[in-house]
Amino acid sequence: MRLKDKVALITGASSGIGRETALLFAREGARVVAADVNDEEGRETVALIEKEGGAAAYVHADVSKAADCKAMVAFAETTYGKLHILFNNAGIMHNDDGDAVSTEEAIWDLTMNINVKGVFFGCKYGIPAIRRAGGGSVINTASFVAILGAATPQIAYTASKGAVLSMSRELAIIHARENIRVNALCPGPLRTELLMKFLNTEEKKQRRLVHIPMGRFGEAREMASAALYLASDESSYVTGTEFMVDGGITAAYVTPE
β-bridge mates for residue 35, sequence order = 11, 59
Asked if 14 and 217 count as a contact pair (C-beta separation under 8 A), the reply is no
- Euclidean distance between CA atoms 124 and 58, whole angstroms: 20
The number of beta carbons lying within 10 Å of the beta carbon of residue 176 is: 13
Q: Of 157, 229, 237, 253, which is the active-site residue?
A: 157
Whether 80 sits among the annotated catalytic residues: the reply is no
Q: What strand order describes the sheet that includes 242-245?
A: 55-60, 31-36, 7-11, 85-88, 136-141, 180-187, 242-245
- Euclidean distance between CA atoms 118 and 120, whole angstroms: 5
- Euclidean distance between CA atoms 90 and 180, whole angstroms: 21
- Euclidean distance between CA atoms 59 and 65, whole angstroms: 14
Q: Which DSSP string corresponds to 111-148?
A: HHIIIIIHHHHHHHHHHHHHHHTT-EEEEEE--THHHH
Instruction: List residues with catalytic annotation.
Output: 157
